[in-house]
């Protein structure tokens, strides 16, 4: 008897450790303003999440806050980012972030225990938000070839979201998916509020270019940012961040491939008010001040890299194709018409 007890305890401890590994309890720091565009989605989330926490007395009697919200839309549009903004703005709530592919792969056999524990933890730390990314891999439609384990996870999930009695007060489940049409209908019903997170509009795209460039030295004008926004119709937020990351590397590539450098003046890195005369920057061999050398010959602190220019951006944009295709957008549109609301 005694031995089995001994053996039992480490098992439980191990399980809790693994649980805390799969669940990120965090207090993210992302403001609504950091999210470009998506006004409709933000409003819906404020109504569902922030109001009930701020004014609990509004939600007594028949007026109950939403318990499950599904964010769906093409990949790379900021669903997870938006969920983090929700967690930040609902300042005193605990944010549980869990990837369902983690759940299913690592935990076969123990997954439903994990789901149960997740909800128990959330109730203990309420108000809390459970964010489940790629919820489709957890709760796809029940099919014949589905494993017993996957079915058990789903059942446990339904039971927990149903909340036996009324003990889900203060627990909100946020799901995110790129392929909402594969969701099981019972699960879909648990997410009473379904919000479409579309590809960014033009002004949001321009803003993203600015956001991703940050304080990197560049020569882009406001008109350039507007033009970039116009040129990138059909690109997701993730696509734009890739364009900018590639463009940020262009000056580095110029440094690597340059055969000639010239001396220039520039502000000191440590103190912008001090000017240094002998920085080296790449130039064309025809430049009157060109010195034949490669980047290997430039002392570390003397390199002044070229600024990021509009042509860098355009070159990167030409090399980066949008990742979201028409067929998926059509399916998402149809799902929105049948079951969703526009973000």
Q: Average of pLDDT values for 274-293?
A: 87
Residue 6 — pLDDT band, cuts 50, 70, 90? very low
Contact 318, 13 (CB under 8 A): no
The C-alpha atoms of residue 274 and residue 255 are separated, in whole angstroms, by 24
33: Cβ contacts below 8 Å, ≥ 6 apart: none
Among 5-14, 32-41, 294-303, 322-331, name the one with the lowest average pLDDT. 5-14
Q: Average of pLDDT values for 131-142?
A: 73
Inter-CA distances, 241 with 41, 213, 235, Å? 21, 9, 10
Predicted confidence at residue 34, as pLDDT, reads 77
Q: What are phi and psi of 203, to 5 degrees?
A: -65, -35
Nearest Cα residue to 317 out of 244, 238, 217? 244
What distance lies between CA 59 and its chain's CA centroid? Answer: 30
What b-and-e string marks burial along 223-237, b requiring 16 or more CB atoms within 10 Å of the CB? ebbebbbeebeebbb
Q: What are phi and psi of 265, to 5 degrees?
A: -90, 150
The C-alpha atoms of residue 240 and residue 231 are separated, in whole angstroms, by 11
Mean pLDDT of the chain: 80
Domains and CATH numbers, the chain: 10-199+330-339 (3.40.50.300), 202-322 (1.10.8.60)
Residue 228 — pLDDT band, cuts 50, 70, 90? very high
The C-alpha atoms of residue 225 and residue 229 are separated, in whole angstroms, by 6
Predicted confidence at residue 7, as pLDDT, reads 44
Taking the model in full, what pTM does it have? 0.74
Inter-CA distances, 212 with 40, 239, 294, Å? 23, 11, 30
Q: Which residues are paired to 129 by β-bridges?
A: 95, 172
Among 12-21, 28-37, 106-115, 267-276, name the one with the lowest average pLDDT. 12-21
Among 15-29, 147-161, 200-214, name the one with the lowest average pLDDT. 15-29
3-state helix, strand, coil in the chain (%, to 5): 50, 15, 30
Nearest Cα residue to 285 out of 312, 308, 256, 258? 258
Long-range contacts of 113-120 (CB under 8 A, 24+ apart): 113/15, 114/19, 114/22, 115/153, 115/156, 115/157, 115/160, 116/156, 116/160, 117/15, 117/16, 117/19, 118/19, 118/23, 118/160, 119/160, 119/168, 119/171
Q: Is the pLDDT of residue 325 over 80?
A: yes
- For residue 86, give the H/E element and its range: helix 79-89
């Amino acid at each position: 008897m005694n031995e089995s007890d001994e053996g039992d305890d480490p098992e439980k401890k191990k399980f809790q450790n693994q649980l805390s590994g799969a669940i990120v309890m965090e207090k993210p720091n992302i403001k609504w303003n950091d999210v470009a565009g998506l006004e409709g989605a933000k409003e819906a989330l404020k109504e569902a999440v922030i109001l009930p926490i701020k004014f609990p007395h509004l939600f007594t009697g028949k007026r109950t806050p939403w318990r499950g919200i599904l964010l769906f839309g093409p990949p790379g549009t900021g669903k997870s980012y938006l969920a983090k903004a929700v967690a930040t703005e609902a300042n005193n709530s605990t944010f549980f972030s869990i990837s369902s592919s983690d759940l299913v792969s690592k935990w076969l056999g123990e997954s439903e225990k994990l789901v149960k524990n997740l909800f128990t933890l959330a109730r203990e730390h309420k108000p809390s938000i459970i964010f489940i990314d790629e919820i489709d891999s957890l709760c796809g439609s029940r099919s014949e070839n589905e494993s017993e384990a996957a079915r058990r996870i789903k059942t446990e999930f339904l039971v927990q979201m149903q909340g036996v009695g009324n003990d889900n007060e203060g627990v909100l489940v946020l799901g995110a998916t790129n392929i909402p049409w594969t969701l099981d209908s019972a699960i879909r019903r648990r997410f009473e509020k379904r919000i479409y997170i579309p590809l960014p509009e033009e002004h949001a795209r321009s803003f993203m270019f600015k956001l991703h460039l940050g304080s990197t030295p560049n020569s882009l004008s406001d008109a350039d940012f507007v033009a970039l926004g116009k040129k990138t119709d059909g690109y997701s937020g993730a696509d734009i961040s890739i364009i900018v990351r590639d463009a940020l590397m262009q000056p580095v590539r110029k440094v690597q491939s340059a055969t000639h450098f010239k001396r220039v003046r520039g502000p000191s890195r440590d103190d912008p008010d001090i000017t240094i005369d002998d920085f080296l920057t790449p130039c064309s061999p025809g430049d009157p001040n060109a010195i034949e050398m490669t980047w290997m010959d430039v002392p570390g602190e003397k390199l002044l890299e070229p600024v990021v220019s509009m042509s860098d951006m355009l070159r990167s944009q030409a090399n980066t194709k949008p990742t979201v295709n028409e067929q998926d957008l059509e399916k998402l549109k149809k799902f929105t018409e049948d079951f969703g609301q526009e973000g």
